[in-house]
Amino acid sequence: QVQLVESGGGLEQPGGSLRLSCVASGSIFSLYDMGWYRQAPGKERVLVAEITRGGSINYADSVKGRFTMSRDNAKKMVYLQMNSLKPEDTAVYYCNARFRGVTVWGQGTQVTVSS
């Protein structure tokens, strides 16, 4: 079963940038649909961005124009470039992989946007 490990979180000032990375194990990474989700304290986990195995990308309205998701199948990685960060982007960010009805989550990485 695939395993996911996120990295790149941290503390950033409003208006700053962070780049999250997620590396996957397994040999069929190119067949996975991948997603980034986030969960703020006391709130539900919500979709931030997703990329299909065919390369189609969908963003939540709250991050359109600021965040960019990409994937590198050769490295078995997905990225989330986050620009123009806002305090409301503060959350734990989770990487997600989906294949044939099976969903796998990473452990999450904390992103805090504060001055």
pLDDT in tens, 99-108: 999 999 999 9
The widest CA-to-CA distance across the chain, in whole angstroms, is: 43
Distances (CA, A) of 15 to 28, 61, 73: 37, 18, 30
Residue with tokens 């986990």: 45
| Residue 46 to residue 66: CA distance in whole angstroms | 17
pLDDT in tens, 26-55: 778 989 999 999 999 999 999 999 999 999
Strand-pair category, 91-99 with 33-39: antiparallel
Instruction: Tell me: pLDDT of 2 over 90.
Output: no
